[in-house]
A and B are shown apart, each in its own frame.
Chain A
Amino acid sequence: MAPEVSKIVRRITFVLVALATIATEIAADEQRPLLRSIGIGSIGIAIAFVLNWLVRFPEDPKRNPPLWVTILVLLAAGAPFLIEPFRRDWFNDGNPLELQMVYGLRNVALALVVFSGWLLCLRIAAITSLFLILFATASTNDTAMMVLLGLYTTCGALWLMLTYWTGLRSVFVPPEKEVNLEIQTQSNRWSWVGLGVLGLLLGLSLAVIVVGPQRTVYVLGEWLPTSGGTGETDPFARSGIGDGPEEVAGDNAQAAGMVDTEKLIEDNRNALIDAVGDTYGPPHKPNKDQERMVAAGLADVIQFHGKLPENRRPSRDFDTGRKGPQAKKSPSESQNARGVFEVQGRTPLHVRLVVYEKYDVSKNRWLEGRRPTNRLLEEEGNDWMRLGHLREADWYSSVERHQLKVADLKSNIVPTPASLTRFKIRRVDRADYYEWDFEGVLAIAGRGRTPSGVIVYTDSVTFNWQNLPESSLMTISPSKNPAHQLNHIPEEIRPQIEQIAQQWAGHLPQGPRQIEAIINQLRSGYEHNREISSPEDHPHPVLWFLTESRTGPDYLFASSATFLLRALGYQTRLCLGYYASPDSYDPKSGHTPVKANDLHFWTEVKSRDGHWLVVETTPGYEMLTPEIPLREKILNTLSQMGSWLLGHALSVMIIVLIVLALWLRRREIWDFILCQLWSWFPSRTWEKQVFRTLKLLEKRGRWTGHARPNQTTPPRWMRQLTPPPSQSDGQDWNQLARMAEWACYAPQMASPWSIDEVHAVCRSVLSCCSLRYWRKIPPLSATGEWK
């Protein structure tokens, strides 16, 4: 036994790990009583002690521990990470990331000390305990830590002394004795684990190459605990640690950091309507005789005495007969340089800008909606405002928290998610500081534009169409009030619209199922293409889209859905707004910047509790759905996999059978390929030909439990095996053994056998000693003896 693994060294290592474990428990939760921390730590120590007592010591402690030890240690290291999601989900309790990492290291130390019979495990256990004690010392000022540190230092010094003195014995070993004695009974082969690790490394390398080093650094950075943050995004964050990157207030109010700043910028340069024109192309210009004058409201003129804010300007009706966006000759960098606002929180997110309710079929224009008159904001304190007109409903999922930081917004709207329930802007603590531009479109009263740097904290609800009850939506019979703005369908297109709506969803009960059907029809049967526009001579772009082209921009999707749902009796409206896409997520800042051209149209349907629910019908765009718990995700995935497998049962079964057959016959197949290669490409010299034949025979022997032991020469190994029965006197077999002897160990000289003779003997042996033959003969032991 190696001197380092003496009993006293092992015991001291165990004490070191035990002290480090208790110190880790104390540092992990300073609020916990000391005795309780010691008790929790002692449980792990006791388990390690019992396991250590049960594990047999290896005969040679200097050898590497076997694979199962490595697997157990890795499992112990990963256990906190594997348990954590379930713990959070089921017990509503959890640890921040850095504590999970430390607990993983603690488990590694305990697992290694269990296997301290192996020298490598013992040494790594001691080093890991040192890291743990350093972590604990740096994390807490508990007085008990000083005691533990003193004990650890004493034991550590003793450990160093003992390992030093026992290690000195090796100094006196004469140099000629410095030879490793390692008994090898099997030849070195590529292990499956080694190949797996190699494949994993290659895969990771390829992934790094594909995604790029910068993104890799960001992803890895997400795994590491960081300091800073507010504890808002991670409820289990520990004093702000592990709660994302630090957000700081910069000098620039348009900085990406989600920190409130006093530096507000007043600017009225660009307008929202410019961005709409850039995105969807210029509007159709009617003939002069059809032109009309729309005057601004008298009150607005009196109030501002100057240029109106953009959301108050007239003629913001939306023309659906547009020609599509014009190709830019030289795209302006400033337009895409930064977002109009940034979102922190889950995406996708729909942020309303303009609401359209009525369609003017003569001009093919959507007319903007009415301004609400009785929408209340209730002050909740701490600057929070609750939307008072919403009624309680129990069909929504958990509340989503977002932060939206205004960077360069062209109007005075307050960017908020669609299903908003409450919001906050710091120091804007009175309800009359806000006003409703449209229903669900919040704006800052009396300002030309929302200042850059403003952070809007929002709480909104999410929902799934599948989970909404049938009575959750506001419905009205089209025949009862056809002139109602939210139920209006132009008479010119009403029959066709109603026919399509009935065809798609008429057979379903009124409610969310019908809406889902419309969504599915549009998303699956139509194609999104912003470059396509309806012909100028076509009177009804929506009908052209629905019945002829089946492809078009998002406003035609949204317009179609709006009319179709109205035809089914729902109160709907068309919305233009910003779409915060998950694809735009910036891992560096952890935000999703929303640019000026991230404009998007969607439909909204009114629910009974007062919310306008997003109906996303455009392919490629999604709506924010409730966050699914891990357990449900796993079940969903399994369910989907099961469904898919059932759906493709025949093909899956055929593939599985083929793979199984190939796997079961892999050795025969591989042997056949090698034999064919041997036959097609013979070696130039007789020695090489004999070597290749030997390799093939050894491979067959290894596959059938007749592997040549490392200390046995090939000729001797062959002579230990019975010659094939088809060769009555074993002449070729013995001849090949003799050839092998000469090929392996005879000095260079003229060929004792002709190459043809060698070929004939080798071919004869290979054909007679098939894999089937090898399987019939009893296996050899490692030393070459018959079992």
Chain B
Amino acid sequence: MNRAIMEPNSSPPMTSLAQISYLRNHLNQALRGKPQVIEFVMACLLAQGHLLLEDLPGLGKTTLAKALAQAVGGQFSRVQCTPDLLPGDITGFSVFNQKTREFDFLPGPVFSDVLLADEINRTTPRTQSALLEAMAERQVTIDNVQHTLSPTFFVIATQNPVEHHGTYPLPEAQLDRFAMKLSIGYPERNDELSLLAAAVGDSPNKKNSSELLNKQALQTLQNQVIRVAVEPKVQGYLVDLARVTRSHPKVNLGLSPRGLLIWQRVSQAWAFLKERPFVTPDDIQQVAVPVLSVRLGLVSDQAQKVIEQILASIPVPV
């Protein structure tokens, strides 16, 4: 463990704090009035997880994704998922080059740093599954050739919870690859007023090319998150909660070990964002809803209540 990060009054390092602060401000500018959502998105990014945004159209899902991609400075790709979308359209494919008389590999959108899979539940499960390997292992295998993706590869998928005609619900295996599921929700009145005011005179095609983080800086931050300490009793608390999810009568699918690892990592990221070099049960509780709601097979309107019950069932370690 880095000694610097263990000092109570000095962690994380100032440069990291500044970067995080800039990133936070930038995202809050892009998505007004949703600081809590921004915090979760940043935690997901720092925990090297992938994000599923489930909300109604027009609430800023794509805006958030684009702002994030712009902020982290990498390559941004977008896939509009439709029923006729093929796996190769996402991963890429090989074409025969008549000049060189060889097959050339044309990389797909997954070969980027931030991939926005818009309305992911509109494409077929076959195409959805094309993302499995990419999300879990940050690589794709095409024609028996493994292609490594960017180490900061980050998927933001969106889906519309209302329209179910012609949609393909994501399978549990796919859902388990996401670190968290978020709903943005409608902004408050004041936020909408400021949104309108900012839009006057502002071109919709305007591109802000300012880069807050580069790939290396993001990797550094992610590595610092990995080193955030988790005491054994806190890990025990986490495991107890995971076991409770497996026995709760309203939970269809208990938390998997992979889900448990992701929960710990997101908690580490949350503690890092709170400028604390260790995880407390509060961190675990605060990220529980977005982390668990994506993977317990819960109905959306019951998820919050069931997760609160689960959290209330285990006393925190002291």
Among B7, B254, B276, B277, point to the contact of A177 (Cβ < 8 A): B254
Most buried by A among B243, B244, B313: B313
Among B244, B248, B280, B312, point to the contact of A745 (Cβ < 8 A): B280
Known: A179-B244, A742-B8, A752-B7. A713 touches B312 (CB 8 A): no
Q: Which residue of A lies closest to B6 (CB)?
A: A749
Among B7, B8, B278, B314, point to the contact of A711 (Cβ < 8 A): B314
Inside 8 A of B248's CB, which chain A residues have their CB?
A: 181
Asked if B315 is at the interface of the complex by the 8 Å CB criterion, the answer is: yes
Inside 8 A of A633's CB, which chain B residues have their CB?
A: none
Asked if A783 is at the interface of the complex by the 8 Å CB criterion, the answer is: yes
Chain B contacts with A in 273-290, Cβ cutoff 8 A: 276-282, 285
Q: Which residue of B lies closest to A177 (CB)?
A: B247
Chain A contacts with B in 201-228, Cβ cutoff 8 A: none
Are B247 and A179 touching (Cβ within 8 A)? yes
State the majority secondary structure of interface residues on A: loop
B265 to nearest A CB, angstroms?
17
Give the size of the chain A interface in residues (CB under 8 angstroms).
32
Inside 8 A of A738's CB, which chain B residues have their CB?
A: 8
Asked if A509 is at the interface of the complex by the 8 Å CB criterion, the answer is: no
Among A177, A187, A711, A744, point to the contact of B285 (Cβ < 8 A): A711
The docked-state distance in angstroms from the alpha carbon of A737 to that of B254 is 34
Are A747 and B285 touching (Cβ within 8 A)? no
Are B246 and A711 touching (Cβ within 8 A)? no
Known: A745-B234, A747-B278. A176 touches B246 (CB 8 A): yes
Known: A715-B280, A745-B278, A746-B231. A176 touches B243 (CB 8 A): yes
Chain B contacts with A in 242-296, Cβ cutoff 8 A: 243-244, 246-248, 254, 276-282, 285
Chain B contacts with A in 2-52, Cβ cutoff 8 A: 6-9
A732 to nearest B CB, angstroms?
16
Asked if B309 is at the interface of the complex by the 8 Å CB criterion, the answer is: yes
Among A180, A711, A741, point to the contact of B247 (Cβ < 8 A): A180
Asked if A716 is at the interface of the complex by the 8 Å CB criterion, the answer is: yes
The docked-state distance in angstroms from the alpha carbon of A783 to that of B313 is 12
Asked if A723 is at the interface of the complex by the 8 Å CB criterion, the answer is: no
Known: A178-B247, A181-B247. A746 touches B229 (CB 8 A): yes
B7 to nearest A CB, angstroms?
7
Asked if A303 is at the interface of the complex by the 8 Å CB criterion, the answer is: no
Asked if B311 is at the interface of the complex by the 8 Å CB criterion, the answer is: yes
Map CB proximity to B onto A168-208 as digits: 1 under 8 Å, 0 otherwise. Answer: 00000110111111111101000000000000000000000
The docked-state distance in angstroms from the alpha carbon of A505 to that of B313 is 79
The docked-state distance in angstroms from the alpha carbon of A169 to that of B28 is 51
B288 to nearest A CB, angstroms?
11
Map CB proximity to B onto A135-160 as digits: 1 under 8 Å, 0 otherwise. Answer: 00000000000000000000000000
Inside 8 A of B9's CB, which chain A residues have their CB?
A: 752
Shortest 9 CB-CB contacts between residues of A and residues of B: A710-B315, A179-B247, A752-B8, A177-B247, A745-B280, A179-B243, A747-B229, A176-B246, A746-B278
Instruction: List residues of B whose CB falls within 8 A of some A CB.
Output: 1, 6-9, 229, 231, 233-234, 243-244, 246-248, 254, 276-282, 285, 309, 311-318
In the complex, besides A179-B243, A184-B312, A712-B316, 13 extra interface pairs with C-beta distance below 8 angstroms are: A183-B313, A184-B315, A713-B282, A713-B316, A713-B318, A716-B282, A744-B317, A745-B233, A747-B1, A747-B6, A747-B229, A752-B9, A753-B8
Residue pairs across A and B with Cβ atoms less than 8 A apart, 25 shown, are A176-B243, A176-B246, A176-B254, A177-B254, A179-B243, A179-B244, A183-B312, A184-B312, A185-B312, A711-B285, A713-B280, A715-B280, A715-B282, A741-B276, A744-B318, A745-B278, A745-B279, A745-B281, A746-B231, A746-B278, A747-B1, A749-B6, A752-B8, A753-B8, A783-B312
